[in-house]
Chain A
Amino acid sequence: MIISVASGKGGTGKTTVAVNLALSLNNIQFLDCDVEEPNAHLFLKPDIKDRRIATVPIPDVDESKCNYCGKCRDICAYNAIVVISPDDVVKGGSVLIFTNLCHACGGCSLLCPQFAIREVNKEIGLIEAGNCGDIEFVHGRLNIGEIMSPPLIRQVKEYIDSNRTVIIDAPPGTSCPVIASIKGSDFCILVTEPTPFGLNDLILAVEVVKKLSIPFGIILNRADIGDDGVDLYCKENNIPILMRIPFDREIAQLYSAGIPLIKEKKEYINKFNGLFELIKNQRVIS
C-alpha cells in the first residue's frame, strides 16, 4: 500500500506526520519526494548506503552531420533549441540547446532528418538510499539552479518496494511536483491547519486528489488554534478528519531540534497506529 502525505500550504506538518507514521509502523519504506527541500532525513537520520546521480537525457548535436535545416527547433514544444543559419556572418551555423528548458522528450533526436542528434545524460540531482532501523529510506535532492523536479521525483519513485507499506512525503503546492509525487498512491493524507490560509490551500489540494481519484482524509495540525473553517468545510463535504494534533510548544521544540515526536511523546505511537487502521478501512469504503 502506498500512502502519500501532502498539503497545499507548506509548513503545516507533512514531514512530522510522514516521519512519525513511518516510525510507528512496521515494514515501512519511506520516500521523501520533496526533492527541492527534502527534510525527512533530518528526523530519520538514515544510514545512507547508496548514492546515485540522477540524470535526464538531453540532446547533443553533432554539427559535422547537421545541415541547419531547423527541424529540431520547429518540433521542440519548449523552445529549447535555437538554430543559427550558416549564412549568419557573425555566428556562422550553430545549434544552441537551452538545457534548462528541455523536457527530455527525445523528439529532436528521433526526428532529425540527418541523424545528427544523440542524447547525453545531464545531471539534475542526487538520489540517496539507505535505512533507518527497519525503515527503508530513499530521497532525492534537486541540484541548485535546476528547474524541473518531476523527473527526479519519478526516479525516486522507481525505488518503490511493493512488499512494504510505502510512505511518500510530498512537496507543498498543487502543481506538477505534487502530482508526480502522489500519483499512484492508494491513499493521500492531507495535512492542514485551521486557519483561512490552511483552508484555502486545503480546498485546492482536495481538488487535486479528486482529479487523480485518490481516496483521502485530513489531519488537522495545531488543531486548537485559528478558527473552525476547516472543520465546517470537512463536515459539509463529508471529508473525514483522521486525526487532530493540538498546538503544543513542546512538539514545536522537538520539531525544531529534529527529534521525532513519538520519541518523546509515546502516546502518539498508538495514535499513528490508529490512523493507519483508519486509512486501511477508509480505502475499503472509498
Chain B
Amino acid sequence: MKQIVVISGKGGTGKTVLTASFAALAKNKIMVDCDVDAADLHLLLQPEIKERYDFRSGKTAWIDRDLCQECGQCIDVCRFDAIRDDFTVDPISCEGCTICSYICPEAAIKLEENLSGEWFISDTKYGPFVHAKLGIAEENSGKLVSKVKEAAKEIAEKENLDYVIIDGPPGIGCPVIASLASIDLALIVTEPTLSGIHDMERVAEVSKHFKIPTKVVINKFDINPGNSEDIKKICQEEDIEVMAQLPFSQKVTESIVQGVPLIEFCKDRIAEDISLLWERIK
C-alpha cells in the first residue's frame, strides 16, 4: 500500500483538482480529505455518507457562578486571556489547559470535553472516501487529520487496497505535519508566482525535515514561463524531481462548477498530462 499526499504550501494552487483526478485514474484505492477546516474534495467526489463519527478533542473551562467567590486567581493564571472580568470563560480563547481548575480555591471551575467536529466514511463512484468537518472556530485540526488518515489506512489494510490518496491542507503548520506522517510520497503542487515558489520552498523544507520523499508538479506553468524555469532550477538544486508541468486551462473552473474530476470533464492536453503524471506516480 502506498500513501500519497498532495500538498502545496500556498492555497489555491490546484491540490483538490489534482487529487480528484487521481481518484478517477487510480484503481483499488481510498481517498482522504485532510484539509479538514476548508474541505472541498467532496464537491468533486459527490460522496454518499455511510458512517458518521463525532470528533471529541480538547476541553473548555466553565465557571460555576454559585461557587465562584471572584478571587481572580484564575484570571491571573490563565495565559490565554480566556477568563473575562465578569468571571465567565471565553470559549474561543480557552485552550483547555485546565490550570485554572487546579488553582481555584473554591473548586468552581469545571472542564467539559469539546465536540470539535465530525468525520465520515463515505462511498463514491471512485471508491471509499474518508473526510471530516472541523467545527467552526475549533482547534486540534492536526488531531482530526490524524484521525481520518488512521481510519483510511485501516480500511486500506482490511480491503487490501493499493493506494491511499490524500488531499492535504495548505500551510506548513500542525495539520500539514499531521498529514505528512508515514507518507510514501508528498506531491507538492505549485504555481509559477513568487508566492507559489516561496511557499513551495517552505513546505518542501518541512517534508525534508520529516524525511518524506517529495516531488513537485508545476500548475499553470504558462502563466509565467520564466518563473517555471526558476522552479525547475530550485528543484534541481534541492534534488527534487519535477514530475509534470500542467498548462493553465479554463476547463479547471468549469469542471469545478460541474462538480466532476477534471479528467472526466475534458480530454484536453491538461487531462492527458494528468493521466501521464498518474502513470509515473503509480
List A residues at the B interface (Cβ < 8 Å).
8-12, 15, 36-37, 39, 42, 75, 77-78, 103-107, 110-111, 142, 144-149, 171-177, 179, 183, 195-197, 200-201, 204, 207-208, 211-212, 225-227, 249, 252-253, 255-258
Contacts and interface: CB of A to CB of B under 8 A. Distances in A.
B266 interface: no
Contacts, number: 183
A105 B99 contact: yes
A74 to B, nearest CB: 10
A147 B177 contact: yes
Contact of A107 (B39, B99, B173, B174): B99
Given A39-B199, A104-B79, A144-B205, A173 B257 contact: no
A245 B13 CA distance: 19
Interface residues of B, number: 64
Contacts of B177: 145, 147
Contacts of B93: 183
Contacts of B142: 147
Given A172-B11, A175-B139, 12 more contacts: A37-B195, A37-B203, A39-B195, A39-B199, A75-B99, A105-B97, A195-B253, A195-B256, A197-B16, A197-B256, A204-B38, A252-B223
Contacts of A196: 40, 43, 256-257, 259
B256 A226 contact: yes
B102 A36 contact: no
A197 B167 CA distance: 14
Contact of A103 (B8, B9, B95, B170): B95
Contact of B10 (A37, A176, A207): A37
Contacts of B134: 174-175
Given A103-B95, A175-B141, A146 B77 contact: no
Contact of A10 (B10, B43, B77, B174): B10
A147 B142 CA distance: 9
B194 A37 contact: no
B224 A253 contact: yes
B261 interface: no
A195 B254 CA distance: 9
5 smallest CB-CB distances across A and B, nearest first, come from A10-B11, A11-B12, A105-B97, A107-B99, A36-B171
20 contacts: A10-B11, A10-B38, A11-B170, A105-B80, A106-B79, A107-B98, A110-B77, A110-B99, A144-B205, A147-B174, A149-B171, A172-B12, A172-B171, A173-B171, A174-B136, A174-B137, A176-B139, A176-B141, A196-B256, A257-B193
Interface string B199-232: 1001101100110000000000001100100000
A256 B227 contact: yes
B247 interface: no
Central interface residue in B12, B141, B192, B198, by most chain A CB within 10 Å:
B12
Contacts of A201: 38, 40
Interface string B6-36: 0011111100100000000000000000000
B11 A144 contact: no
A253 B227 CA distance: 11
B195 A200 contact: no
Contacts of B202: 36-37, 144
A149 B158 CA distance: 36
A194 to B, nearest CB: 9
Contacts of A175: 37, 134, 137-139, 141, 175
B170 A173 contact: yes
A103 B10 contact: no
B109 interface: no
A39 to B, nearest CB: 4
B253 A144 contact: no
B128 interface: no
B92 A105 contact: no
B2 interface: no
Given A179-B137, A208-B136, A37 B172 contact: yes
B210 A258 contact: no
B37 A173 contact: yes
Contacts of B198: 37, 39, 42
A155 B43 CA distance: 37
A142 B172 contact: yes
Interface in B92-123: 92-93, 95-99, 102-103
A86 to B, nearest CB: 25
B169 interface: yes
Contacts of A142: 172-173
Contacts of A207: 136-137
A95 B113 CA distance: 27
Nearest to A108: B99
